[in-house]
Structure formats: C-alpha cells, structure tokens
Chains A and B, each alone.
Chain A
C-alpha cells in the first residue's frame, strides 16, 4: 500500500508539474503577445517610430535607375525628384502649370543669335535663329547632403576615393562610412551632369533628342566613345568628363553657366525642370567608380547624391527605401500664392513656412495591391490609389454620375482626390497599312466609321470604373491647346446636343462605311468580308473581356476583328517594322506643352523611319508644316489658332481613335495635409505634412486585436478529439486489465 501510495503521489506530482509548465508556457505567450508592444499587434512598424513625423508609402517595382542621367520613369522620379535639384521647378499650387526657379535665382532668358552671331530680338522668327543661349545663375550657399564622397583628410585629399581592401571589408552600404561631408553647389556641377548625357556607358534616354539641340553634345559622345571603350578594356570605370569640352555648355563663373542650343527650342526650359539637368558633383562619380564599391553594388545608380529636401538613407528596394530629411537643406518656403479654392481647402495654411514638414518617408515594397489596400484601411499607409478590386468598397457613383466616397470611407475620415492625367491612351491605325492606312478618302471614311462605332464612353464605364474621359483629340486637359465643351468636341465622331457631345449614331457609321466601299462590312471590290487585325499584348485574366468588347465594337459594323495577341517584345518588333495594322498605345506628358503631344503625329518622327514616337506613322505635310510653326511659338491666341488647325487636320484624317484621358483617383487619410495633385512637379514631398498624434490615435482605435476566435478554435479542436482520447484511455485500461487478468 505504501509503495502504491508513493507511485500515486509521484504520478500526481508529475501531472501537477506538467500542468504548471503548460500554464507557464501559455501564460508567458499571452504576456509576450500582449505586453511586448504597446502598439497594435498588427503594426508593421517599429514601436520606436510611434508618434514620429514619418510618412508611410509603398512601391511595387524597384526603381531601375536612380542616376538622373538614366532615369526616365515616374516611379523613379518619386525618389529622384526629392533628392536631385534641377535649376527649375513647377509651382506646387498654380494651374495651369507654371515653371519657377528652384536652384536658379531667376527664370533663364533665351537669347537668340543669327548665323553671323548677331543678337536677335526676343520675337525673332524661328528661321532666322541659328542658336539660342540660356544663361542660368544658381543661388549661392546651397549645400549637398552629407556624403562620404566629399570627405577630405588634413592634407585636403579625398579620404574615400582610393579605398583599399581592408577599408572595403568593413563597407556594405553607404551608411557604413564613418565620416561624411558636404560642399557648396556650383554651376560646374550642372555642366558636368549635361556632359554625362553623352557618357557612352550611361545610355541616357534623352541623349538622342538633346543631341539634336545642345551644341556639341553629339561630338562629345563621338569623342568619348573610343576613350570609354579603352578604359573598359583596362578594367577602369571612371571617365573624367572634366577633361572634355562640350561646345554648347560652359561654366561662366562659380554660380553661372550657359547652354547653347541649335535654332529655337522653347521647350528646353521644361527639360530644365527634370532630373536629367540636375546637378551632379564630379566627386560622386569618381567615388562611385571604385571597383571595390561597384562589386558591392555601391554605385551612383543606386545611391543618389543631391541638394534636395530629402536624401536616400536606406536603399533596399527588395524591402524598403527610406528618405530622411536632408540636414543641409536650405529650407525653401511653402508657396503663398494659390487660388481661392486652394485657400478654401486649407492649402495656404502653411504659406511662408520652411519646408520640408515631414522628417522621414518610408516606402515599403508591396508587390500586390490587396495588402496595400488593407494596410491603408488600417492606417498603416497614409495614402492609397484605388485598384479595380477595391473600387466598389471605396467609391460610389451617384445617379448623376457624381463620384463620392462610400460611407465606410467617409466614416474613417478618408478623403478623395481626383485629377485627369496629362496622358492619352489611344487606338492607333498604322497609316502605312494598305487597308486601314493612308490619306485616301476610302481609308479616311473607314477610320471615321470605326471611330464612331468604337464607344469609348462605354469602355470607360466598364473597364475603368468611370475613371477617364473620352478624348476629343490628342491634347489632354490641363495642357495648353485643349478646349473643353462645345469649342473642343470632335465633330467627326460626336454631335453637340443638349449642351453636351453625343456620339453619332451607328447608322451614320454604317453610312460612312458603305461610302468607303464596305457596305455591311463587305469589300465591294472583292466581295469578301472586311477583316482587320489588332496587334496587342494582353495576357492577364481580365483581358479576355476587354478583347471581346473590342470585337463587339467592330462587329457593330460587321467588320471582323482578328486579335493578334503577342508577347510585348514581338509587339515592339512589329511596331518598329510597321507590320502591325492596328494597336493600342499611350503617352504620358513629359512637360505641359502641346508640342509634347502633337509631336506624336509629326511625320519626321515616324516609328518606322526613325524609331520615333509617331507610332501610327502618320504623315500629313500640312500638319507637319503647322507643327514646325507651333513648336516655337509662345502660348497665346496665335498659337491656339495654329493648334486648332492642326487638331482639325488630324480629326479629319483620324489616324487614331482618340481614346481616353485617364482620371487618377487617390485616397488619403484625414491626418495627411497639403495634398494637391501636381502631375508635372517631381519634388512634391516637401510640401506634404502629417498629423502623427491623430494617426496614432486612429490606428489604435482601428486595430484592436480580436482573440476569441482562436480560443474558440482551440475549444472545438479539444472537444472534437476528447471522445477519441477517452475511448483510447478506456481501451488501454482494458488491455492492461486483460493483461493483468491473464
């Protein structure tokens, strides 16, 4: 008995111990889960960042380039625009868009010269102008961000420009350098960057167009090409551009430089607001050209160096990119001149205050739209776009077509911002195609008939959730030359009725088709049905519906549409060779000038001939002549008249279905301030502000953890398996009893 008693006590002790251990583990887990963080459990950011003046955003594709000579995409400009500073910028609030000085002291004046070198008047005719000179003076005292490339030792030599293996062994990112320094921005830095556009190793996308204008740029490229090839053979990376002159671009003194271009090209000032023309210190390129740093991916294309309001302090585009406030930034002032609606929207409350307002901007990599949307709703992102999946959750469209936020969004204090993008998405005809192309009456009527039948209003409603407007011509709203209402509708496709443009009837389209020689979609000459081919790259799951819709539009005219779905590369190849019959294309504005859209139809800019951006290969001598005239004119009634003539010509010829101008919808939380869409400016972050305490309060309120389903699940699992265990224990006892009995 005594022995049995000890056994029982031991078993009890063991059970008690086990129970205690389990209780301890569960208790610890609960304490860990609840006490390890004062923030919500689902907060993706470090606790230390709570309450800080940080803006949170996301990016889906890593920037390909962060070198201002190479970068040419909006997702890259989102970073570069905050770091690099060109001499000019767009006013943040004013519309239409207005260029103003950034690092320049004033707007550069164009000085015209004739072939004899005599100065011409400001209104000189373009044919008299041999060259134009822009002199740019920059503000003194502007400092670069802290950077190891500027650090010098006591002897005045650069400390980090000749790193040895020992020194390199400690370096993995730019932040591993112990020391940083800065220096003043000089005019020579701007000249150096312009020379970089001709650097053979950089492949600057604007070298082609700038080579046409900047005097000596093509010659410089020819000089540099063999030198660079030789350097690469020797395993060297640094091409010292200071040793080579660029005839048209000169440093005049410490703060002044001039750019001389061939002829007249008023659009150059717009380019001067883009990162291509930002300042680049020569020290940076020398520093980043060290083979040891290149091996570790510490390169200029990855670690920018600028004078802007922010500097890139973390560049891990596989995970996160962080912009920190540049401590050397001069603190430009928030604009005080805005429209009355800006004042009413509180956009002038910070007028005159030093910028930037936000200390740090964190961009997280998010490859999928669903997590971004959900994190925005939880308050972990301050702004968000609206994907098609979340459109109905965010937006409700009223009976009159008015766009409002849903009650759920409004209850969270979320605000909506909409703007028509300076973009055109069009349906192009290859004007060199024998059937659909050319300027013959037959082909023109055929294209016009299709233009009427192709219902872009329906397309926008079905496939863009109403986010867009049907285009009346190549110029989008917000660009000089665009006309709204009755003055701006396309009379070849629409009629003006009841104060609005109404698409012409299908009967009218069929009449035009018959007039073109294709009654009921049958070629009168051959008696065969008319078959047209659309070359397209469509591989997504949503594309099938869109392609069917395209077929339906042509079916309205009894035209058979064959969709030739190809890989993107094959499509590009067809476009270059001019073998595509019809295609869908788009263009985003580089700058707010009609030249940047009308050149898409300029004959000498044909895709097939010169690999230009005239993808339809449209050629009309009258249009080309007017384009040459228009591109050099100042905005005003005369220019508008020329543009009106040009638009009339292309509407008549109809080389495109004018397609749509997309409307951009974005959402932002109540704590995000000074938000006004600016489609041209790149340095917009410095204007934005955040109310961090309000954000923290809302995050805590919206993200209370809910744990009861976990406990319920555990109880269900335990309850479900309990009968089986009871059965098992009984069975075991039975076996033991049977064994004892035996």
Chain B
C-alpha cells in the first residue's frame, strides 16, 4: 500500500503543475501586472512610477512565462510564473500582494471554516441517513412519497434562499440566534447554530435522495432476502444488514470531502460574516491578489488529491476484497 501511496503522490506533481499553469494563465489573461498594481494602489493619484515600483517590489516586472533576455535555464526560471509557482510545492505560500504572510493567514482562518464544515458534515450525515432510512423503511407508503416530494422541493431551492430565509426567520423574526457574526471558543456556538442548521437543511434533499437510492439497492439484494427468510424483523434487516453494507459508498463519499473541509464555504461565510478560508478566497479574487488566489487554488487541488488517495485507502479498510497495488 505504501508503494501505491508514494506512486499516487508522484502522479500528483504533474496534476498540480497543470492546475497551477491553468490558474496562472487564466489570471494573467484577465489581469496584467499593471492592472494588479492599479487595483492595489487605489484609484486616486496613482503615478506610472508608483505602478512600476509596486511591480518591481513583488517581482511582477519580469516577463510572464519566458525571459528572452536571460541566459540558459534562467530564460524559464527568471519569470513571474516560475518564481511564483515553485515555492508552492514546498508549501511556501509567501506574502500576499498586500504584504501579509499567506501561510499564517491560512493557519488562522481554517479554524472558523472547520467550525462550520465539520458540524455540517457530521450532522448532515446523521440527518440524511436517518431520513433516508425512514423513507426506505416506509417505502411505497405515503411517507416515502411525501419524503421524496419534500426532498425534491428542498433540492430545488437555491442555497442563497436558505441563508437569507434562515436569517430572516430565525434571526430576525423569531430572535433565536444572532443574524450574523462570529466569536472564538465556546462563544462561537451561538453564531454557528444558524449556518450549521442551514447547511444541514440545505443538504437534506440531495443527501436523502442519494442515500435512499443506496439503501433501496441494498434492500433488493439476495442477502437481505435471506435475512428476511430467516425471520428477522424489518428493522433488524434495515439497521443491522442494509445500513452496514450501504455504509461503504457513504464512507468513501465522505472521505473524499474530508480534506476539503478546510477550504470553507464561499457564500455561507460571506453572509454570516465568518472569517474562514472561503471568504479569504473570495476577497482575494475581488482584490486581484494573485498570490492568495494561486495559493488557495493550489491548496484546494492538493487537498482534493489527498482526498482521493484517502478514499482509495478507505476502500481497503471497509471492503476486504479490495487491495491496493
């Protein structure tokens, strides 16, 4: 298995280079270094000299991808692309265009993102499995029918509506929790209740439908028929046998998203004023801070690859028939 993991990590290198190249190309197609300088230096009284100085200080005065004036290998290395990309592979994110240490900012901002993402994942999983089991258990009854209807309705509603509606109903009308904000430690709980609740409710529709499908597929298998034939009650069949076997795709689906929990939620963090990595990325895009954008895209890609590797590993743990080679 170790060999497999090492090999997969090596495969990741060209993928990350490719992601970095695409990010770089897309960013610099839209924004020239001059544009970035203007954005950072402000609207009023910006002189061409100030723009040149700003670029020189951050290395944006070099050619973008190929330095024809340099000698030998420096034609490729003495460029904006190389100098901004190579350090990412040792997780040196450097400083933002505004001058702040990106690694430090990420280490500070990942905790609020996790404070929302982890409860949403766990509670969402519990809620989705519970509702899916409920509708699977009462399949072909009015509960199954109306459960599916409710799920489709929930899936059809925009995530933004949940947020604005939730803030209006729970925060504004009922006065049960603060509308927005954040705090550290235990004081954060009252601020997390609403975004977590909205995150869970917003995911119930699709989650329940997906898990219901998994459960129904398992219910139709031979071993379930055998269990019933042995005289086991329906609840025992469902909870002891079906749930256990259906957990394999559920578990692997969860493992793949685990590393990405760090990256935060763009809209939720913005509406609830939560200082996580989602709003960090959005702010960087809006302010054309390429240093942060490339770091966050790189980190997101890396974590996604880690998630896929973890998924492969988790298969071997939950299904003894699978071997990594």
Contacts and interface: CB of A to CB of B under 8 A. Distances in A.
Given A297-B101, A299-B99, A368-B270, A209 B45 contact: yes
A568 B42 CA distance: 13
B177 A206 contact: no
A-side interface mostly? loop
Interface string B91-135: 000000011110011001100000000000000000000000010
A33 to B, nearest CB: 8
Nearest to B276: A318
Nearest to A588: B44
A705 interface: yes
B68 interface: no
B149 interface: no
Interface stretch (B48-56, B211-219, B313-321): B48-56
B209 to A, nearest CB: 19
Given A297-B105, A374-B171, A319 B50 contact: no
A366 B273 contact: yes
A316 B190 CA distance: 20
Given A319-B275, A366-B273, A573 B47 contact: no
B179 interface: yes
Interface string A304-317: 00000000000010
B265 interface: no
A569 B39 contact: yes
A641 to B, nearest CB: 29
Nearest to B30: A567
A205 B44 contact: yes
Interface stretch (A161-169, A677-685, A724-732): A724-732
Interface stretch (B71-79, B230-238, B239-247, B302-310): B230-238
Contact of B99 (A209, A301, A366): A301
B309 to A, nearest CB: 31
Interface stretch (A38-46, A93-101, A451-459, A516-524): A38-46
B44 A728 contact: no
Given A205-B46, A318-B279, A42 B233 contact: no
Given A366-B180, A706-B173, A203 B54 contact: yes
Contacts of B279: 318, 367
A676 to B, nearest CB: 26
Nearest to B49: A208
Interface in A289-308: 294-297, 299, 301-302
Contacts of B231: 739
A736 B280 CA distance: 59
B191 interface: yes
B311 interface: no
Interface in B26-62: 30-32, 34-35, 38-42, 44-50, 53-54, 57
A203 B50 contact: yes
B2 interface: no
Interface string B148-179: 00000000000000001001100111111111
Given A203-B54, A207-B47, A727-B141, A41 B180 contact: no
A371 B35 contact: no
Contacts of B69: none
B273 A319 contact: yes
A61 B46 CA distance: 21
B66 interface: no
Contacts of B164: 370
Contacts of A206: 45
A374 B172 CA distance: 7
Contacts, number: 161
Contacts of B174: 705-707, 709-710
Interface in A377-412: 377-378, 380
Given A295-B104, A732-B233, A572 B179 contact: no
A331 interface: no
Contacts of A573: 32, 34-35
B181 interface: yes
B269 to A, nearest CB: 8
B283 interface: yes
Contact of B45 (A61, A380, A613, A735): A613
B177 A613 contact: no
B78 to A, nearest CB: 16
Contacts of A208: 45, 47, 49-50
A569 B47 contact: no
B180 A371 contact: yes
Interface string A102-128: 000000000000000000000000000
Contact of B273 (A371, A567, A706, A709): A371
A371 B271 contact: yes
Contacts of A40: 175
Contact of A297 (B40, B45, B100, B280): B100
B47 A724 contact: no
A703 interface: yes
A380 B179 CA distance: 10
Contacts of B143: 721, 724
Contacts of A301: 99
Interface in A192-231: 200-201, 203, 205-209
A209 B47 CA distance: 9
Nearest to B194: A42
Interface in A124-172: none
A573 B108 CA distance: 37
B222 interface: no
A331 B272 CA distance: 38
Given A42-B171, A208-B47, A365 B273 contact: yes
B175 A42 contact: yes
A72 interface: yes
A587 B292 CA distance: 30
Contacts of A590: 44
Nearest to A201: B57
Contacts of A721: 134, 143
A638 interface: no
Interface string A49-71: 00000000000011010000000
Q: Which of A43, A64, A573 has the most CB of B within 10 A?
A: A64
Contact of A72 (B32, B44, B53, B275): B44
B116 to A, nearest CB: 14
B178 A370 contact: no
Contacts of B53: 200, 203
Q: Which of A40, A44, A208, A735 has the most CB of B within 10 A?
A: A44
Given A203-B50, A203-B53, A724 B138 contact: yes
A62 B283 contact: yes
A295 B134 CA distance: 53
A378 B50 contact: no
Given A205-B50, A316-B275, A569-B32, A44 B181 contact: yes
Interface in A520-535: none
A699 B143 CA distance: 43
Given A319-B182, A371-B273, A41 B176 contact: yes
Given A42-B171, A367-B271, A367-B273, A613 B141 contact: no
Given A319-B275, A573-B35, A297 B104 contact: yes
B48 A318 contact: no
B104 A706 contact: no
A423 interface: no
A728 B175 contact: no
A318 B175 contact: no
17 contacts: A41-B190, A207-B50, A208-B50, A299-B99, A318-B280, A368-B270, A374-B172, A378-B179, A569-B31, A572-B38, A611-B46, A613-B44, A706-B173, A706-B174, A710-B174, A732-B234, A736-B233
Given A301-B99, A368-B180, A611-B47, 8 more contacts: A208-B47, A367-B279, A370-B167, A371-B167, A378-B179, A572-B35, A573-B34, A728-B234
Interface of B: 30-32, 34-35, 38-42, 44-50, 53-54, 57, 98-101, 104-105, 108-109, 134, 137-138, 141-143, 164, 167-168, 171-183, 187, 190-191, 231, 233-235, 270-273, 275, 279-280, 283, 287-288
